[in-house]
Structure formats: structure tokens, C-alpha cells
Structure 1
Amino acid sequence: MPQLDTSTWSITILSMIITLFLVFQLKVSKYYFPEDPKPALVATPKPVTPWEKKWTKIYFPLLLPL
């Protein structure tokens, strides 16, 4: 039974890996990857509440006149 010649396997496997790597790089380089979004400075408006415009007095029940 003849021996299997494996002397060319290393160069075949190495060239296959390099070729696959190059093909993968070419495929990936065609995609557009957007940049990271930058935080936008948003001015938050202060909510307008009716009790901030007028003076109110808090009455305690025990301090009311009889």
C-alpha cells in the first residue's frame, strides 16, 4: 500500500487560510459602519406651574381663629 504524500499540505492549508482572510477583508470593507452617535445637547424647558407665579399661604388647622 503506497504512502500518502503530505509534503504539500502545509502550503495548501496556509494559502487557503490567507485567501479566506483576504476574501473576508474585501467583503467586510464594502460595508458602511456609522460612527458612534454623539450626545446632543438638549435644552430642557422648565415646566410652568401655576403655583410658582403667585404667593400661597399654608394654614394649619390648629392655628385658625375660632
Structure 2
Amino acid sequence: MPQLDTSTWFTIIMAMLPTLYLITQLKLLSMNYYQPPLTKNPNLQTHNICWRPKWTKTYLPHSQPQQS
């Protein structure tokens, strides 16, 4: 029964580690990561409006009280 030659294993493993590292780095460089939204600049001027935006209740025609 022939013996398994393991003399080259160390060289192969040591060459494989930097190769796997480089492949992983190249994969990570090509990925698109989530970009957080830009924060609003507080120094920007806001437009003055003569009315305040607010919630109002909208009534449908059938929900209004009947007038007699």
C-alpha cells in the first residue's frame, strides 16, 4: 500500500492563505454598501408661509349630519 506524500502540504496551504485573503478583499471591494441618508443642514433657510400645516378632519357626504 503506497504512502501518502504530505511533504508539499505545508507549501500548498501557505500559498492558499494569501490567495483566499486577496479573493475575499476583491469581493468586498465590489460590494455596494448601504449609504446613510445625508443629514439636513440647519443653516438652510425655510420658507415662511402664512398658514400652518395641520391635520384636518375630512367628512364624507354620507357622514355629515342630516339637516331637516
TM-score by length of 2: 0.43
Which structure is higher in helix share? Answer: 1
TM-score by length of 1: 0.44
